[in-house]
Structure 1
Amino acid sequence: MKFKFAALPLMLASAVVSAEQYNSFTDADYENRDYNGADVDTLSVQSQYYFGALETLGPRKEFNYILPVTNIYGGVSSIDAGPFEDEVVTFGGEYYTGQWKLFGEFNDIYSTNVYSAGAGFLFSPNLLAEVEAQKVEDEDTVLFVRGQYNHQLSGTDYIGFTAEIDDGFDYRSISSKYFTALSGGQYFTAELGLTDTDGADFYWNGGVEFYFNENTSVGAAYDELVEDYEINATHFFNRNVAAKVAYGSNRDFDDLDMFRIGVTVQL
Structure 2
Amino acid sequence: MKKLLTVAVIAAISSFSSLADESKQLFNQVNIADFPKGDNAYYLSSHYFFAPQQHSGVWDDFGYLNTDTNIQAAYLNYDNVTDIAVSGEWFATKEWFVFGGTEDISHIRNDAEIGFGYLFADKLKLSIRYQDRKYGSDQTMLKAEYNHQINEHDYVGVTLDTESDFDTWTLSGRYFKKLSGDQFISLDIDHEKDYYFNEDYTSAVVNYYMNRNLSFGLGSYDSDLGIQAKYFFNDKFHLGGSIIDFDAGEVYQLSFTAQY
Q: TM-score normalized by structure 1? A: 0.84
Q: What residue is the counterpart of 1:31 in the other structure? A: 33
Tell me which protein shows more strand as a share of its residues.
Answer: 1
- Given residue 40 of structure 1, which amino acid in structure 2 is its aligned partner? D
Indicate whether 1:49 and 2:43 are aligned: no
| Residue of 215, 218, 222 corresponding to 1:217 | 215
Match of 1:108, SS state, is coil
Does structure 2 retain, via aligned residues, the 8 Å contact 1:19–1:57? Answer: no
Q: Is the 8 A contact 1:19 1:58 kept in 2?
A: no
The structure, 1 or 2, with the larger RCO (C-alpha pairs under 8 Å, 6+ apart) is: 2
Offset at 1:191? 1.0
Match of 2:16 in 1: none
Aligned to 2:252: 259
CA distance 1:134–1:229, change in 2 (3 Å): farther
Q: 1:96 is matched with which residue?
A: 91
Residues 77, 173 of structure 1: CA spacing in aligned structure 2 closer, same or farther, 3 A cutoff?
Answer: closer
Question: Within 1, Cα distance between the matches of 2:20 and 2:185?
Answer: 18
One-letter identity of the residue aligned with 2:133: V
Q: Deviations over 1:65-104 (max 9, x none)?
A: 1121111110111123xxxx21121111111122111111
Distance 2:180 2:20 in 1: 16
Instruction: After TM superposition, give the deviation of residue 145 of structure 1 in Å.
Output: 1.0
Report the AA paired with residue 53 of structure 2.
L
Relative to structure 1, is the Cα distance of residues 46 and 181 closer, same or farther in structure 2, using a 3 angstrom cutoff?
Answer: same
Cα distance, 1:246 vs structure 2: 1.3
What one-letter code is carried by the residue in structure 2 that aligns with 1:182? L
Question: d(CA) in 2 for partners of 1:157 and 1:174?
Answer: 20
For residue 255 of structure 2, give the secondary structure of its aligned residue in structure 1. strand
The percent of aligned pairs where both chains have the same amino acid is 25
More helix by share: 1
Cα drift, residue 42 of structure 1: 1.0
- The two structures, once aligned, show a CA RMSD in angstroms of 1.9
Aligned to 1:195: 192
Aligned equivalent of 1:245: 241
Q: Is the 2:100–2:115 contact (alpha carbons within 8 Å) kept by the matching residues of 1?
A: yes
Give 5+ residue unaligned stretches, structure 1. 1-16
* Aligned residue in 2 for 1:73: 72
Residue 121, structure 1, aligned to residue 118, structure 2: yes
Instruction: Check 1:31–1:53 CA distance in 2 against 1; reply closer, same or farther (3 A cut).
Output: same
Any conservation in 1 of the 2:59–2:235 contact (CA below 8 Å)? Answer: yes
Of 153, 156, 160 in structure 1, the residue corresponding to residue 157 of structure 2 is 160
Please list every run of 5 or more consecutive structure 2 residues that lacks an aligned counterpart in the other structure: 1-18
**Alignment size in residue pairs:** 239
Cα deviation per residue 1:208-247 (whole Å; 9 max; x = unaligned)?
11111222211123332xx654211111112211111111
Deviates most, 102-111 or 21-30:
102-111
Q: State the distance in 2 between where 1:214 and 1:117 align.
A: 38
- The alpha-carbon distance between structure 1 residues 33 and 203, as it changes in their structure 2 partners (threshold 3 A), is closer
CA distance in 2, matches of 1:222, 1:93: 32
Aligned partner of 1:105 among 94, 101, 104: 101
How far apart, CA to CA, are the structure 2 residues paired with 1:190 and 1:152? 15
Residues 126 and 70 of structure 1, relative CA distance in 2, 3 Å threshold: same
Q: State the alpha-carbon separation in 2 of the partners of residues 223 and 111 from structure 1.
A: 30
Residues 165-180 of structure 1: pairs in structure 2 closer than 5 A: 165-180=162-177
Larger gyration radius, structure 1 or structure 2: 1
Structure 2 residue 180 is matched with structure 1 residue 183: yes
- Check the 8 A contact 2:43/2:75 in 1, yes or no: yes
Contact 1:19/1:55 (<8 A) preserved: no
1:166 maps to a residue whose letter is E
Per-residue deviation, 1:205: 1.6
